[in-house]
Amino acid sequence: MILMGKDKPVYTPFLDTGDHVIVVNADKVRLTGNKEEQKIYRRHSGYPGGLREESARKVRATRPVRIIEEAIQGMLPKTKLGKQMYRKLNVYAGPKHPHQAQKPVEMTVASR
């Protein structure tokens, strides 16, 4: 909602009124149920037979940022505007990020 700008009174569906978002500690995200073994992340090289599949457990071990990025990208519109909104997302595996000069405001998410 923050990337899209839906939390602002000036929200317009066809304009990018959202803010930049920095997500830290992506490696600490938990998946519920059996998603660690059953969820499959797919990518294709573009060549015949180039489909690569990895389980969520393997993706978490190699690139934990990808889990968050693909989840958020799936929530955005599948248009040029959605791609523009996605570019304002920065995800980091650990607690450190290089955006301190922009003075980010911390938002907490309720954990369950």
pLDDT mean over 71-100: 96
Specify the pTM: 0.86
Range(s) of the domain holding residue 19: 1-29+64-112
Same domain flag for 93 and 106: yes
User: For residue 9, what are the contacts with CB-CB under 8 A and spacing of at least 6?
Assistant: none
CATH of the domain at 109: 3.90.1180.10
Examine the pLDDT at 112 and tell me if it is beyond 70: no
Question: Residues in the chain, how many?
Answer: 112
End-to-end CA distance of the chain: 20
Examine the pLDDT at 107 and tell me if it is beyond 70: yes
Alpha helices in the chain (DSSP H): 35-38, 56-62, 65-75, 80-86
Same domain flag for 23 and 43: no
pLDDT mean over 1-16: 93
Percentage of residues of the chain with pLDDT beyond 90: 95
Examine the pLDDT at 109 and tell me if it is beyond 80: no
For the chain, what is the domain count?
2
Same domain flag for 4 and 37: no
Strand partners of residue 53:
42
How far is 84 from 68, CA to CA, in rounded Å?
A: 17
pLDDT tens column, 37-78: 999 999 999 999 999 999 999 999 999 999 999 999 999 999
